[in-house]
């Protein structure tokens, strides 16, 4: 007898209760893992970004789109305090991670970067290390002690969609891998330290469609468990992998602003702003 | 003016820049908490205070105090501060930081004391006349204020200039052969250049003396001195240039070749211009390698009290040889002149390096 059988009145009541809980959980907004409030960014006196307000809910993926030079990469680098490594960099406003301002003076940037991982545009595996060594390098570099390295290597490489291709040559040099494989390797490397947030700065821009597809699958799976923030120039990619989208735009000689943001479906099918409509339809940028 | 609307759905739209938002660029990462400042202050002041007290009340000599007591104390203090502020994991940072700062200070102290002692001793001999006059009719016992080292400065300039004019094109050519032409002999050329950089300077002088001077091809003069310097400069210039050219990305070369460029044009118009700053550095390092060399000039250029303009027919003075000759004389004024010459040499080298740096940076910025 099925649980859904209406003849069983006890179970009907239970089902109703469960459905109510589900409905409630659907409508409760997810907690924000990261958020920027009135964030403006400068290099020297040149303003790159102005008044960026974006919220990044937990277990979701957000795409940052916009033409080149509008400050997307700069923005993503402020989220894990890599921005400050550039001389003359400056900013104003707040970047919140779990409601804590990551730029507060008592915050250790090392701790922030450990929790907010990053994958860069060009794959950057450490050339002197093996594939296995690269995956575990984050543990070593951050002094993190975790048992069972083999399990971590298998788990993260599987999550990054690379395990099947490299499981027989884990002790080979990372440089032997192709570009797409290297990029998946650095994703696995970023996952091995168990970050809460993963920033991706155009992770597929130098890759072929097959590798791109694999990485996109990986991103969608990861977004079930963590927060993904991805910069992309590829509109289809944003549509495929993200729940939310923010559209950045900079007028000539002016700082970049977020023109429109919202659910990815809305942004692409029914944007409110004409510029967004033009951009997502490939009319400029 | 700002219009931010939240219409249907979850999206928001910003139509224009928010002009009312008044923000100043800040560098929040440079801000420190009061606790951080206090602990850092304690970690710096306490070891210094302890060592200061020890220095005052005990007869322990200063070098032992600094190396055996202060340094470990400072290390401990930094460890404590790091542990207290950022946890156990950051303690290696503290160790590295203390070592790095400590070693830089040591280097600075060593260099500084050399400069200081030369400046103190050389200062009394310096005057306008000292820089511009020569030493004709000046005996070792002539008091300061008479005569000068103008002839030696000119001699050094002359020798280094000619050596540079020969060694830099040769050195760059060698490096281009090794890295760009990649000819059949590049491995051997590289090996010889490396071996050549190990040639002692006195051997370079002896080589010129026996091959060119004893055979009657040249007399001891500016040109033979310059040739001896060339032997010393060449490997430095060639090896530095080689390293610089290796750093030029391969994409640049393939990019130029793909435009239908010949190999020679790739080198002349793409690779070498891209390596410009590095070439200046190579030249500076080459000059720095030779400018204070004394031994080869003792054999090939000798010395002179007069100003020498013809590079071929007469022995010539130079700063290193002048210093070498005068500093050993039993007359305080001659020794003072030697220190004055040493200070002048130091200042010239400093100016040269500064000039080269300015030149390379400016050219780089223009294009």
Residue (of A229, A228, A235, A230) closest to A276 by Cα position: A235
Identify the H or E element spanning B4.
strand B4-5
Structure tokens at B170: 């040769």
Question: What are the boundaries of each domain within chain B?
Answer: 32-112, 150-366
pLDDT of amino acid B9: 47
B17 neighbourhood in chain A, CB within 8 Å: 50-51, 254-255, 257
Coil vs helix vs strand at A42? strand
A103 neighbourhood in chain B, CB within 8 Å: 28-29
Residue A3: Cβ within 10 Å count: 9
Residue (of A227, A200, A196) closest to A55 by Cα position: A227
Distance CA B16, CA A257 (A): 8
- The beta-carbon neighbor of B13 closest among A47, A81, A259 is A259
Q: What sign results for the dihedral spanned by CA atoms B173, B179, B182, B184?
A: positive
Residue (of A50, A93, A263, A79) closest to B12 by Cα position: A263
Quote the distance between the C-alpha of residue B347 and its chain's center: 13
Residue A104 lies in a domain: yes
Strands A89-97 and A32-43: antiparallel
Beta carbons within 8 Å of B32's beta carbon, 6+ residues apart: A105, B40
Distance CA A238, CA A261 (A): 13
pLDDT in tens, A9-37: 556 666 676 666 666 555 566 789 999 99
In angstroms, how far apart are the furthest CA atoms of chain B? Answer: 100
pLDDT in tens, B139-174: 888 888 888 999 999 999 999 999 999 999 999 999
Cβ within 8 Å of A, B 72-131? 86-87, 89-90
- Its domain, for residue A217, covers 31-126+198-280
Distance CA B149, CA B83 (A): 58
Contact A130, A174 (CB under 8 A): yes
Number of folded domains that form chain A: 1
* Average confidence (pLDDT) over B114-126: 93
Whole-model pTM?
A: 0.76
Which of A35, A39, A40 is the best mutation test for B, with the most CBs of B within 10 A?
A40
Distance CA B251, CA B228 (A): 39
Residue A3 lies in a domain: no
Q: Do B25 and A260 touch (CB under 8 A)?
A: no
CA distance B245 to chain A (A): 22
Which of left, alpha, beta for A81 (phi over 0: left; psi -120 to 50: alpha)? left
pLDDT of amino acid B147: 87
| pLDDT above 90 (res A206) | no
Which of left, alpha, beta for A200 (phi over 0: left; psi -120 to 50: alpha)? beta
Distance CA A107, CA B29 (A): 9
pLDDT of amino acid B5: 42
| pLDDT above 80 (res A246) | yes
Residue A115 lies in a domain: yes
pLDDT in tens, B35-55: 889 999 999 999 999 999 999
pLDDT in tens, B179-222: 999 889 999 999 999 999 999 999 999 999 999 999 999 999 99
pLDDT of amino acid A28: 62
This complex has an ipTM of 0.75
- The beta-carbon neighbor of B31 closest among A50, A105, A109 is A105
Contact B343, B124 (CB under 8 A): no
Report the mean per-residue pLDDT for chain A: 88
Point out which residues pair with A77 in neighbouring strands: none
Domain covering B150-366 in this structure, CATH number: 1.10.3720.10
Residue A236 lies in a domain: yes
Identify the H or E element spanning A118.
strand A116-119
B7 neighbourhood in chain A, CB within 8 Å: 272
A50 neighbourhood in chain B, CB within 8 Å: 17-18, 21
Residue B185: Cβ within 10 Å count: 12
CATH number at residue A96: 3.40.50.300
Contact B283, B170 (CB under 8 A): no
Beta carbons within 8 Å of B238's beta carbon, 6+ residues apart: B170, B171, B172, B174, B175, B178, B193
Angle at A152 between CA A34 and CA A81, to 5 degrees: 30
Residue A136 lies in a domain: no
């Amino acid at each position: 007898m099925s649980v859904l059988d209406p003849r069983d009145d006890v179970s009907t009541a239970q089902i109703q209760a469960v459905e109510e809980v589900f409905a409630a959980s659907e409508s409760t907004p997810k907690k924000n893992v990261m958020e920027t409030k009135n964030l403006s960014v400068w290099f020297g006196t040149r303003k790159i970004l102005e008044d960026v307000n974006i919220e990044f809910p937990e277990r979701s993926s957000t795409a940052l789109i916009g033409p080149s030079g509008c400050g997307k990469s700069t923005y993503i680098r402020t989220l894990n305090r890599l921005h400050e490594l550039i001389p003359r960099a400056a900013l104003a406003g707040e970047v919140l991670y779990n409601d804590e301002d990551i730029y507060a003076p008592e915050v250790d940037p090392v701790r922030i970067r450990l929790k907010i991982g990053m994958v860069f545009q060009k794959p950057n595996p450490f050339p002197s290390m093996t594939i296995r060594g690269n995956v575990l390098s984050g543990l070593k570099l951050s002094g993190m002690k975790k048992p069972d390295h083999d399990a971590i290597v298998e788990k993260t490489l599987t999550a990054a969609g690379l395990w099947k291709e490299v499981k027989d040559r884990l002790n080979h040099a990372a440089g032997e891998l192709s570009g797409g494989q290297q990029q998946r390797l650095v994703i696995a490397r970023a996952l091995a330290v168990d970050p809460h947030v993963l920033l991706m700065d155009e992770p597929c821009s130098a890759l072929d469609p097959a590798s791109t597809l694999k990485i996109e699958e990986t991103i969608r799976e990861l977004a079930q468990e963590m927060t993904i923030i991805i910069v992309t120039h590829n509109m289809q990619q944003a549509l495929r992998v993200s729940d939310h989208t923010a559209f950045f735009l900079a007028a000539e000689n002016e700082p970049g602003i977020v023109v429109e943001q919202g659910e990815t479906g809305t942004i692409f099918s029914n944007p409110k702003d004409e510029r967004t409509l033009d951009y997502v339809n490939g009319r400029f940028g | 003016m700002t219009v931010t609307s939240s219409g249907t759905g979850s999206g928001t739209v910003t139509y224009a820049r928010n002009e009312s938002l008044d923000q100043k660029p800040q560098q929040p990462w440079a801000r420190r908490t009061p606790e951080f400042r206090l602990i850092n202050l304690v970690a710096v002041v306490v070891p210094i205070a302890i060592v200061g007290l020890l220095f005052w009340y005990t007869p322990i000599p200063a070098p032992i105090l600094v190396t055996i007591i202060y340094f470990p104390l400072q290390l401990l203090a930094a460890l404590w501060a790091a542990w207290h502020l950022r946890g156990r994991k950051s303690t290696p940072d503290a160790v590295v930081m203390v070592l790095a700062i400590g070693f830089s200070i040591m280097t600075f102290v060593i260099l500084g004391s050399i400069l200081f002692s030369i400046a103190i001793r050389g200062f009394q001999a310096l005057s306008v006349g000292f820089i511009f006059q020569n030493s004709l009719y000046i005996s070792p016992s002539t008091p300061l204020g008479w005569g000068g080292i103008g002839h030696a400065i000119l001699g050094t300039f002359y020798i280094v200039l000619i050596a540079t004019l020969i060694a830099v094109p040769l050195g760059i050519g060698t490096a281009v052969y090794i890295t760009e032409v990649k000819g059949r002999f590049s491995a051997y050329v590289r090996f010889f250049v490396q071996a050549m950089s190990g040639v002692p300077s006195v051997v370079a002088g002896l080589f010129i003396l026996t091959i060119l001077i004893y055979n009657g091809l040249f007399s001891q003069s500016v040109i033979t001195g310059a040739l001896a310097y060339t032997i010393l400069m060449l490997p430095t210039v060639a090896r530095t240039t080689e390293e610089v050219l290796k750093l030029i990305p391969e994409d640049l070369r393939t990019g130029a070749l793909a435009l239908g460029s010949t190999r020679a044009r790739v080198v002349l118009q793409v690779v070498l211009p891209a390596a410009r700053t590095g070439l200046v550095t190579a030249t500076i390092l080459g000059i720095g390698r030779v400018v204070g060399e004394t031994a080869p000039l003792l054999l090939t250029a000798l010395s002179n009290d007069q100003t020498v303009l013809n590079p071929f027919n007469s022995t010539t003075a130079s700063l290193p040889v002048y210093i070498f000759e005068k500093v050993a004389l039993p007359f305080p004024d001659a020794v003072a002149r030697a220190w004055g010459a040493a200070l002048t040499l130091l200042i010239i080298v400093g100016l040269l390096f500064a000039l080269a740096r300015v030149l390379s940076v400016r050219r780089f910025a223009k294009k």
